[in-house]
Amino acid sequence: MFSRLEEKLYKILYYFCSFLMFSMLTIIFTQVVFRYVFQNSISWSEELGRYIFVWMTFFGAVLALRRRSHVSLDSLINQFPPWLFKAIKVFGYILMIVFAAVLFYNSFTMLQLGARQLSAAMQIPMKYVYYALPISTALLVLYLFRNLIEDIKQWKG
């Protein structure tokens, strides 16, 4: 049950990030064409491209965590005895969960500040940009727990 739901969530995130990438590419390409061909710049394109990039970064981190694709330095801890390797991995997961939970908790302060702040070019509330933080950190915590449980099951079996 959870596995199927999690797989659907992964596909939604994957297509969402693909959509964001395509949107950013289209907006920035259009801006370049307007600037150099028509000698007229689109005022909001750089700002929107930056905000899309922020969302893509946070949700891309979630996708990479789910696939265990983050850069890591395993060559050192792979030299340790299995019991120490496992302890270091669990400690690392706990640290990452705590860090993501602190980010999640503090992201609501950013949302409150962003509700009163407008973006420079598009004049939209910044909270829409900042929503990426609580959503992505909640998903990071979910996937960190998932990866931790999978590792523990693998070590036992």
Quick one: average pLDDT of 21-29?
97
- The phi, psi pair for 38, rounded to 5°, reads -100, 0
Q: What's the number of domains the chain is made of?
A: 1
Q: Does residue 1 register a pLDDT over 70?
A: no
Q: Is a pLDDT exceeding 90 seen at residue 121? A: yes
Mean pLDDT confidence for 41-64? 96
Residues 39 and 32: their CA atoms lie apart, in Å, by 10
Grouping H, G, I as helix, E, B as strand and the rest as coil, residue 31 is helix
User: What is the average pLDDT score of the chain?
Assistant: 93
What DSSP designation does 122 have?
T
Handedness of CA 15, 137, 152, 88 (dihedral sign): positive
Instruction: Give mean pLDDT, residues 45-62.
Output: 97
Structural domain boundaries, residue 27: 2-156
Percent of all residues in the chain with a pLDDT value above 70, rounded to a whole number: 99
Each residue of 76-95: pLDDT tens digit?
888 899 999 999 999 999 99
Radius of gyration over alpha carbons of the chain, in Å? 20
Which whole number is the average pLDDT over 10-34? 97
Partners of residue 125 on adjacent β-strands: 118
CA–CA distance, 61 with 65 (Å, rounded to integer): 6
On the CB side of 50, CA atoms within 13 Å amount to 11
Q: pTM score > 0.85 for this model?
A: yes
Query: Which tokens belong to 117?
Result: 């702040």
DSSP state of 116: T
Residues in Cβ contact with 64 at an 8 Å cutoff, skipping those fewer than 6 apart = 70
Q: Report the half-sphere exposure of 81 (CA within 13 A, side-chain side).
A: 2
